[in-house]
Structure 1
Amino acid sequence: WSRSASSHRFLHVMAECIEEHWAEVNGSDGGGESSGGEWCAPGNRTCPGKETIKWQNKSVYIQISESCSQMFGCLSIRVEDEGQSVYIVWNPADNPNQAATQAVSNLQYAICTHISQIYSIRLIRPSLGTPQIILNLRSGCSHPPMFFHSGRALEFQSKLQEHATLTRCDADASTLLVNDSSNMLQRSLHGLDMVQSSPGVVRSRAPTKPSTPDCQAEIDGDELEWSREIGGEWQWRYLQGGVRVMQGLRSGWKKASAVASDVAASAAELLDQIDTPATSMEMPLEPPHHSAGSRSACKASDLRCGDDECVFVEHEPLPWEDQGLIEEAEFRGFFEANGRIRDIQKLRRRAYYGGFAPNVRRDGWKWLLGCYPVNSTRKDREHLLQQKAKEYEAYRRQWESITADQESRFSKFRDRRHRIEKDVIRTDRSIDIFVDDNGEGLQKLYRILLTYSFYNFDLSYCQGMSDLAAPLLVVMEDEVEAFWCFQKLMDLMEPNFHKDQNGMHTQLQTINTLCKDLEPELYEHLEKKDCSNFYFCFRWLLIIYKREFSLQDVFRLWEAFWSRVRGQDLHLFVALAILREHKTSIIEEDMEFDSVLKFVNDLSGRMDCREVLKDADFLSQEAQFRMITTRSTRNSLGCA
């Protein structure tokens, strides 16, 4: 570190940031100290009354002091005058068991703050603990910290950014300045993506006017010039190493010292590679990209865990973004001139965030289900469909050729045929192609299911398969194509229908584990009521929510499941997302198993598919992050 005196100064600045972070790790989930120094006194707590709710979370609580109990309520972002006026609102939840005087007392803590009154928002997201935000007002005081009991703190930030400019504070990465008019050049560079933004990493930036005592620029002009000379790559690796020091602090000072020494050696090696400022100008101004199409936001997969350490970058799940349906013109753009798909993973990701329009769903589903080889051309697929049509006819002729005399001595076939006939006549009769008792739609569905029982002798036919086959026939329209899509779907779903039900029990046990980790309050109630087997989710998983949503919503859900963007267990997180949304009712009404079963069955047709999918996406990322963090923690503690 003898290369430059400024390097010592820069290291000192980082050490101060680390110490601040260490203090935050140890105390951020307690009372939640105000950066403004005092809480706001009760005042005007109501909005004009004509605002529109743009976002809300009903599981946000405040705690005035450590001696006070948690006060749950609903946090929302509201706008009026076509977005000209934006309010952040928190209202205490209604509790029918609460005394009227106490309810009135709670109302004094209601919050309704116009965005123009907010100077900054401090977003505290500890690795372990409850995320919280503190609204620091321009008057110098602050609202009490608001704790996100069910997560979604970053979702709040993302939604608020649609209505206000949030600028990360130079010296405190957890503080966001609201509509900050200072340092316009820096904001412009960020808007043009000319300054690399990496959540959770302390950054060296140009000095700005000190905004608050807790948020001051520490680096003078000479140090800024030094940072420019050494190049973007060095800055990125050095600062990333600083985060490794923070991670070391969690494991103990001895280990932190070892990691810091390693970081210093790595940085010195990079300094030796820099000869002139001209050379540094050619260095990249952002960290290396992990893969094509990766986002700048940190993902759980960005945690690289080894035997001795885990490089920790603060976890920020990618916010859900509904990108709209894939229309025909866009769908054609995924293919080359000869019909070969350019990037199947890109199509899967696009389907996950938007789904297919009706006129391309027929082909889109075949790609998601794996009916087509990835490298196939258009002619290859035409030839494949012709072959599959002949195969289907061969399987179908096997049961069609059974004579009445043979059937009289074939009890298994008679039983199979009877069960299919009984289920088909009750399947989706409200859908146009299945309305007529003697219509072609029901006849096609019957033939598909009976033919599959001859294709898969071991599994044969089980109740529930008609629910899975019917939507495929609606989309494909063609009997042969619907059969082969059903065959691919059953390859994924077959464990659900095994007689030993091991596949279903494994999934229910996984939900049990996820609920215990991600929703401990709900899990505690269910366990107390002997409901922790989660048998009330059985129908959801067996036919992947076919009877819980409208047909179009089922299409959307299935496309998200089949995309595999969040792995093969997204449907389990959908179950947890539904339970989390309604956990207040389940707990407050003290539901037993029968009550929970009736309650979840009554939810059918009353849920917002896109909200459920968005919550499931968040839970999936949170579970992945916790799994990696837990593994790295166990490694650092020397656990097996």
Structure 2
Amino acid sequence: MSCSIKPVYGAQHPPLQVMPKGKEERSKTSNKRDAFQDFENNTSDAWDDGDDDLLVMANIQMSLRDVRSTAQAVMENHSKQLSAQNQQTSSVKDELRKLSWSGIPKPVRATAWKILSGYLPASLDRREPTLQRKRHEYFGFIEQYYDTRHQEIHQDTFRQQHLGLGTILKDIPRMTSLAHLFQQKVVQEIFERILYIWAIRHPASGYVQGINDLVTPFFVVFLSEFIDNDVESENFDLCQLPQETLNIIEADSFWCTSRLLDGIQDNYTFAQPGIQMKVNALKELIKRIDVPLYKHLEEHCVEFLQFSFRWMNNILMREIPLRCTIRLWDTYQAEQNGFADFHLYVCAAFLVRFTQDVLREQDFQGILMFLQNLPTHHWQNEEIGELLAEAYKLKFMFADAPNHLSKKK
């Protein structure tokens, strides 16, 4: 019994046609339109009705110049659309900055901080997908690095960076005055993971004391989204929250802290050059705006580094209550480069505010003890508002005239 192979017809493989040699030669010289139409007619099941544009395109012979010009037009159109979207986003953020400078209401503070920090898009329809993606990404880091932290490869990394979990764990309970909140094991574990992942992803600096403080305001603000307004954060038991909620607070705190640190990372690299420059800039600014105070510190051999290093390293968190820090950060995030640039003017206004108290101290020890233990425990939003107003005046006078801060030759 003889077998014959039958061709399979379809859109990808057109029917085989056996033609006499004469017809075969004529077929080779037939135009492309006829060949394409024959193919279309024999595979009508593979094409939708009304696709005449495809037949037209089959006949178009585009030059390389045409291709390039078409591609360029597409890219330009895409760039215009992207630029329009960016302008709209910038407009929304600029408006939010203006509204946030004088303080953000508690019910909307968490969302505003996420947008101002650059973590959350201003576009409403992009927010939820972004949050889901970034939270998933963070816990991917946890799985990749934290859950395998006892492996030898990560121990070597830590030794190279001069960082260890022991240092992080020692710093966590000392972060703020909210002792009860940070005595909770679940909170300490959250901070441990956040600091661990940040350090391992930033080998240029690793973990440096002071970074731990910068997580606290984000954590407390994002926690407040999920607790009643009449419950103080420092008295809240996090075990009452479901694990999914804790994961949201943790991931959002990590990303917003990372955004903040991206702008001031030179504060924490080797020898902390960013802080050194800011302390020197503060010294020159005080020399300009408060000569008696500057001379008093100089006469008693008080170096600015001895008291203002902590102001720069911890963003004044050790100097004022946490409630005041949160209000201060409303404005810092509303300012362009608030943590890097505007903070200098806040520190200057902060020091000048206590000029008379410092002048009353007549020895090195008295001056330094006072500056390291300033009487701010009673401060509220009113004092922060006054401080920011003075800082803004200093910025207005000096920010656009940096030569005023340079040393005289």
Query: What TM bracket, shorter-length normalisation?
Result: 0.5 to 0.7
Deviation at 1:601, TM superposition (A): 2.1
Is the contact between residue 323 and residue 380 of structure 2 (CA under 8 Å) also seen in structure 1?
no
Describe how 1:440-451 pairs up with structure 2 within 5 A.
440-451=186-197
From 343, 354, 357, the counterpart of 2:92: 343
Q: Which runs of 5 or more residues in structure 2 are unaligned?
A: 1-87, 224-248, 405-409
The structural deviation recorded for 1:558 is: 1.1
Partners of 2:147 and 2:401 in 1: CA distance: 59
User: Would the aligned equivalents of 1:536 and 1:596 in 2 still touch at CA under 8 Å?
Assistant: no
Cα distance in 2, alignment partners of residues 564 and 403 from structure 1: 38
Matches within 5 A, 1:141-540: 343-353=92-102, 355-374=103-122, 377-402=123-148, 404=150, 406=152, 410=156, 412=158, 415-428=163-176, 430=178, 433-436=181-184, 438=185, 440-477=186-223, 478-540=249-311
Which whole-Å CA distance do the structure 2 matches of 1:602 and 1:410 have between them? 39
For residues 365-395 of structure 1, the C-alpha deviation after alignment (integer angstroms, 9 at most, x for no partner) is 1122121344xx2221211112212221222
Match of 2:344 in 1: 572
TM-score (ref. length: structure 2): 0.63
- Partners of 1:580 and 1:490 in 2: how far apart? 27
> Within 2, Cα distance between the matches of 1:426 and 1:557?
21
**Alignment match, 1:586:** 358
CA–CA separation in structure 2 for the residues paired with 1:625 and 1:540: 22
Following the alignment from structure 2 to structure 1, what is the Cα–Cα distance between the partners of residues 342 and 402? 21
Structure 1: distance between partners of 2:154 and 2:202 = 22
**Per-residue Cα deviation, 1:218-239 (whole angstroms, up to 9, x for no partner):** xxxxxxxxxxxxxxxxxxxxxx
Alpha-carbon spacing, 1:380–1:576, altered in 2? closer, same or farther (3 Å): same
The answer as to whether partners of 1:570 and 1:617 remain within 8 angstroms in 2 is: no
| Cα contact 2:283–2:304 (8 A) shared by 1 | yes
Q: Tell me, what secondary structure is at the counterpart of 1:499? A: coil
Q: Which runs of 4+ in 1 moved over 4 A?
A: 339-342, 565-568, 606-609, 626-632
Inter-CA distance 373–456: structure 2 relative to 1 (3 Å threshold): same
Partner-residue secondary structure (3-state), 1:425: helix
Residues 106-163 of structure 1: CA deviation (Å, up to 9, x unaligned):
xxxxxxxxxxxxxxxxxxxxxxxxxxxxxxxxxxxxxxxxxxxxxxxxxxxxxxxxxx
SS for the counterpart of 1:544 is coil
Query: Alpha carbons of 1:459 and 1:510: their partners in 2 closer, same or farther (altered >3 Å)?
Result: same
CA distance in 1, matches of 2:155, 2:399: 55
Q: 1:482 deviation in Å?
A: 1.0
Unaligned 5+ segments in structure 1 are 1-338, 633-640
Rounded to whole Å, the distance in 2 between the matches of 1:403 and 1:347 is 40
Q: Distance in 2 between matches of 1:364 and 1:630?
A: 31
- SS of 1:410's equivalent in the other structure is helix
Structure 2 vs 1, CA of residues 503 and 630 (structure 1 numbering), >3 Å: closer, same or farther?
closer
Task: Give, in angstroms, the shift of residue 521 of structure 1.
Answer: 1.4
State how far apart, in whole Å, the 1-side matches of 2:256 and 2:176 are.
Answer: 19
Q: Which has the larger share of strand? A: 1
Residue 54 (structure 1) aligns with:
none
User: Corresponding residue for 2:396?
Assistant: 624
Q: Partner of 1:209 in structure 2? A: none
Give the number of the structure whose alpha-carbon radius of gyration is greater: 2
Number of equivalences? 289
Higher relative contact order (CA 8 A, sep 6+): 2
Q: In 2, Cα distance between the equivalents of 1:408 and 1:369?
A: 30
Task: Give me the whole-angstrom Cα distance separating, in 1, the residues matched to 2:110 and 2:154.
Answer: 40
RMSD over aligned Cα atoms: 3.1
